[in-house]
Amino acid sequence: MRITQQQLHRVSLGSLQGARGRLFDLQRQSSSGLRVARPSDDPAAAGRARVLASLVAEQSTYETAASYGLARLQTADAGLAQAANLLVRARELATAMANETVSADQRAAAALEVRQLRAALIDVANTKYDDAYVFANIATDTPVLDANGNFTYDVDTYDGVLEAELGPSNRTEIGASGAHAFARRAAAPTSVEVIDEVDLLAQALEANDPDAVRAQIDQIDLAHRQVTAERARIGTRIQRVQEAREAATTQKALYRELRSDLVDADAIETFSRLQLAETTLQAAVAVAGRILGPSLVDVLR
């Protein structure tokens, strides 16, 4: 079979252009760090990478929601810890002021402090995180208690807590119940109206009535147990939210790693192939130089 000069030129040009194309692709991979920068580089890998990218975004959403829920729960937990301390102080005052030897002036002074404790408890019930009331149920932008210490919603109807989607089929509570912590509810016969019980203690002290003061000691104890019970429930919720966040973080890292395996270039392998491509191009230029002539090869370099 006779090989014409035109065929030799065509083969030489094809080899030279192919070598240059491979070198260009490897240079792009080396500079960008990506093996698949566009779908045409590897359609199958690009398709799988898009799916993995959407999974990474989904897990990021769950992770963000869990972080928000955790911060919200921790704020509520700190609030209930403060409320428990306020009630401990109220009980201390009630115990001290129940003694028959205490004067009316002393009880009046104690009443002023109890009034301050009551005001502080209202502030705790209206604790906010990120402009939302953490103990609210149906309207997180509305205070749980009004200025007089009354609930702004029906505690028997709305005693649940805020929930969030923290994973596939994982809807988790990220709130605290003001109704459970501070209200008397029909579903819980031993529950008490925490603010009212502190108010009754203040009234007993102002009336200089030691019997009424003694009667409030047990009620303040009930209020304290009620607050700490809701705090215990928050502790369980915090653990669940932490687990959900850790799961989302782990899954996100896994999907990112799988995507990286698909689209990222291996640095060592790419550098080795780049050196080989440079050598191949130099060889192709040398061969083409002998066939096409040095002047034309110089133009094609």
Q: Which residues of 153-187 are buried (b: 16+ CB within 10 A; e: fewer)?
A: bebeebbebbebebbeeeebbbbbbbbbbbbbbee
pLDDT at site 137:
80
What's the confidence (pLDDT) of residue 90? 98
Q: Examine the fold and report which residue of 193, 209, 242 is the final residue of a domain before the chain moves on.
A: 242
Instruction: Please report whether residue 69 resides in a domain.
Output: no
Same domain (yes/no): 147, 216: yes
Do both 283 and 188 map to the same domain? no
| Type of residue found at 106 | Q
Does 191 share its domain with 224? yes
Encoded tokens for 7: 């065929």
What is the model's pTM?
0.76
Is 88 in the same domain as 229? Answer: yes
Residue after which a domain boundary falls, among 242, 257, 277: 242
3-state secondary structure of 165: strand
Residue 185 contacts by C-beta under 8 Å, 6 or more apart in sequence?
A: 155, 156, 159, 179, 191
pLDDT tens digit at each of 301 positions of the chain: 555 555 545 555 555 455 455 544 544 554 455 555 666 667 887 788 788 889 999 999 999 999 999 999 999 999 999 999 999 999 999 999 999 999 999 999 999 999 999 999 999 999 999 989 999 987 888 999 999 999 999 999 988 888 999 999 899 999 899 999 999 999 999 999 999 999 999 999 999 999 999 999 999 999 999 999 999 999 999 999 999 999 999 999 999 888 777 765 544 454 455 455 455 545 555 555 555 555 544 544 5
Query: What is 101-161 written as a DSSP string?
Result: T--HHHHHHHHHHHHHHHHHHHHHHT-EETTEETT-SS-TTS-SB-TTS-BSS-TTT----
105, 207: one domain: yes
What gap in Å lies between CA 17 and CA 24, rounded to an integer? 10
Q: Give domain status of residue 110, yes or no.
A: yes
Residues 6 or more apart whose CB falls under 8 angstroms from that of 67 comprise 245
Q: Decide if 59 is inside a domain.
A: no
Do residues 108 and 184 both lie within one domain?
yes
Per-residue pLDDT at 7: 54
* CATH number of 168's domain: 1.20.1330.10
Q: Is residue 283 part of a domain?
A: yes
Q: How far is CA 134 from the centre of its chain?
A: 16
Q: What is the pLDDT of residue 26?
A: 45
In a domain, 51, yes or no: no
Is 251 within the bounds of a domain?
no
CA distances from 295 to 5, 279, 280, 285, 291 (A): 17, 21, 20, 12, 11
Element housing 11 (H / E) = helix 5-32
Q: Give the relative orientation of helices 104-125 and 194-206 as an angle to the nearest 10 degrees.
A: 160
Show the beta-strand stretches assigned E in the chain.
128-129, 132-133, 163-167, 170-173
Residues 271 and 127 in one domain: no
Domain extent for 21 = 5-33+266-300
Predicted local confidence at residue 299, as pLDDT: 44
Amino acid at 150: N
Q: Are residues 238 and 97 in the same domain?
A: yes
Residue 177 lies in a domain: yes
Kindly state the tokens that stand for 289.
């130089």
Same domain for 167 and 276, yes or no, is no
Same domain, yes or no: 212 and 284: no
| Phi and psi angles of residue 171, each rounded to the nearest 5 degrees, phi first | -100, 115
Q: How many CA atoms, within 13 angstroms, populate the side-chain half-sphere of residue 34?
A: 12
Total number of domains in the chain: 2
How far apart, in Å, are the Cα atoms of 226 and each of 31, 186, 197, 287?
Answer: 63, 14, 12, 90
| Alpha carbon distances (Å) from 30 to 38, 258, 273 | 15, 20, 10
Strands 170-173 and 132-133: unpaired
249 lies in some domain: no
